[in-house]
Amino acid sequence: MKKSLLWLLLLSCCSTPCSGSGDEPDVRCLKSFLRSVVDPGGALKSSWNFNNATKGYICGFTGVTCWSADQHRVWSLRLSGLGLQGPFPRGLQDCASMTGTLDLSSNSFAGPIPADISLQLPFVTSLNLSYNGFRGPIPPGMGKMGEFLAHVDLGHNQLSGQIPLELSRLRFLASMNVANNSLSGPIPAFLQGFPAASFAGNDGLCGAPLDRRCPASARSRMQISGESSVGAAVGFVLGFAVAFYFPQWFSRRLHPYVYRFL
Ligand SMILES: *[C@@H]1O[C@H](CO)[C@@H](O)[C@H](O)[C@H]1NC(C)=O
Ligand SMILES: *[C@@H]1O[C@H](CO)[C@@H](O)[C@H](O)[C@H]1NC(C)=O
Ligand SMILES: *[C@@H]1O[C@H](CO)[C@@H](O)[C@H](O)[C@H]1NC(C)=O
């Protein structure tokens, strides 16, 4: 009895912030985001004023969309074309309710896409990093965003290396754009259904849906990716069957969605 009381206390303490600055997680998230970006035009600084006593004031910030009028949690962050610079911004893992869009497109962000992006953005459905200066590989860890991520736009950066096979774990991928980068190697089988324009402008990419054939040495890799996409399809069907017959296993995870869309 005493033990469970202790647990209750611990749990309630962790679900409401009980340490550090005393900020709610979403406020902490936006504060560290603001600290980590370079904002020469002042687009964020002029709007993101944290000295505000109004409840849910962060929902009025430039680019911030909250869940609803009485749910002051960040749903989407749309910051396209604001002249922002710096590395991939930090702090997003504290916006734990962010299940909509992260749009950083058409800015001047640079450096790598973080390897642990799935930990920073575990639930976003749409990720737009296009028209920046991101360079280095597409992190294989992006495949771990597979529960929700449906739209990925990495076009017009300086990304290099091969498209990681781990992205086959993005089961709900509905659109994918990596055009105008410096990617190379074969396009994995599970991406060959997307239009050629999604892959254009990468000198080293080969295979369907592009016209450029891959050298024989690259084909064995495509074979492997073909098998893994069969595996993914089986997993997908299984996942649905389980979700259908044992909905209680999924209800907690899906709750935010149900809440949002009903
Ligand atoms: C405080 O937030 C409210 C709601 O978003 C907004 O209308 C108001 O202008 C803000 N006040 C300041 C001083 O930023
Ligand atoms: C990403 O942003 C660019 C530039 O703002 C836009 O043209 C493109 O349509 C966006 N992609 C997606 C998938 O929304
Ligand atoms: C890639 O570049 C071509 C030619 O400049 C352009 O038409 C296309 O819109 C670009 N796509 C992306 C995603 O950058």
DSSP string, 237-262: HHHHHHHHH-GGGTHHHHHHHHHHH-
What's the distance, CA 164 to chain centroid?
16
157 lines ligand 2 (CB under 6 A): no
Q: Which residue among 45, 46, 57, 61 is best mutated to probe the pocket of ligand 1, counting the most ligand atoms within 8 A of its Cβ?
A: 57
Q: What is the CATH number of the domain that holds 159?
A: 3.80.10.10
Number of domains composing the chain: 2
Confidence of residue 99 (pLDDT cuts 50, 70, 90): very high
Q: Which of 192, 214, 236 is the last residue of a domain?
A: 214
Q: Cα of 30 to ligand 1 centre, how many Å?
A: 16
The residue out of 198, 214, 230 marking a domain boundary is 214
User: Atom 10 of ligand 1 has which residue's CA nearest to it?
Assistant: 52
Residues 178 and 185: their CA atoms lie apart, in Å, by 13
pLDDT score for 190: 95
Q: Are residues 120 and 56 in the same domain?
A: yes
Among 214, 230, 254, the domain-final residue is: 214
Distance 131 CA to ligand 2 centre (A): 9
In order of 14, 21, 22, 33, the CA distances from 18 in angstroms are: 7, 9, 6, 21
In this structure, are 163 and 187 located in the same domain? yes
Q: Do both 90 and 184 map to the same domain?
A: yes
Structural domain containing residue 110: 2-214
The pLDDT assigned to 254 comes to: 43
SS3 sequence of 100-149: CEEECCCCEEEECCCCCHHHHCCCCCEEECCCCEEEECCCHHHHHHCCCC
Over residues 95-106, mean pLDDT: 96
Other Cβ atoms closer than 10 A to 1: 5
Handedness of CA 185, 189, 190, 196 (dihedral sign): positive
The verdict on 159 and 43 lying in the same domain is yes
Do 130 and 29 lie in a common domain? yes
Nearest bound ligand to CA 176? Answer: 2
What is the identity of the amino acid at 192?
A: Q
The 10s digit of each residue's pLDDT in 125-178 is 999 999 999 999 999 999 999 889 999 999 999 999 999 999 999 999 999 999
Clarify whether residues 124 and 244 are in a common domain.
Answer: no
Ligand 1 atom nearest 61 alpha carbon: 5
Query: Do both 127 and 6 map to the same domain?
Result: yes
Find out whether 132 and 108 touch, Cβ atoms under 8 Å.
yes
CA atoms within 13 A on the CB side of 205: 27
Q: Which ligand is nearest to the CA of 78?
A: 2
CB 226 less than 6 A from any atom of ligand 3: no
**78 and 182 share a domain?**
yes
The candidate with the shortest Cα–Cα distance to 223, out of 193, 183, 189, is 189
* Side chain identity at residue 3, one-letter code: K
Ligand index nearest the alpha carbon of residue 49: 1
Over residues 193-219, the mean pLDDT reads 92
The answer, yes or no, to whether any atom of ligand 3 lies below 6 A from the CB of 201, is yes
Half-sphere exposure of 228 (CA within 13 A, CB side): 19
Q: Say if residue 249's pLDDT is above 70.
A: no
Q: What is the pLDDT of residues 47-63, one digit of tens each?
A: 999 999 898 999 999 99
Cβ–ligand 3 distance for 86 under 6 Å, the answer no
Q: Are residues 146 and 226 in the same domain?
A: no
140 and 81 in a single domain? The answer is yes
* Domain match, 100 and 69 both: yes
Helices (H), the chain: 2-15, 25-36, 117-120, 216-245, 251-261
Whether 132 and 157 have beta carbons less than 8 Å apart is answered as yes
Residues 120 and 75 in one domain: yes
CB-ligand 2 contact for 229 (6 Å cutoff): no
Cβ–Cβ under 8 Å, residues 184 and 161: yes
Q: How far is the CA of 11 from the centre of ligand 3 (A)?
A: 49
Q: How far apart are CA 154 and CA 12, in angstroms?
A: 39
Q: By alpha-carbon position, which residue is closest to atom 11 of ligand 3?
A: 179
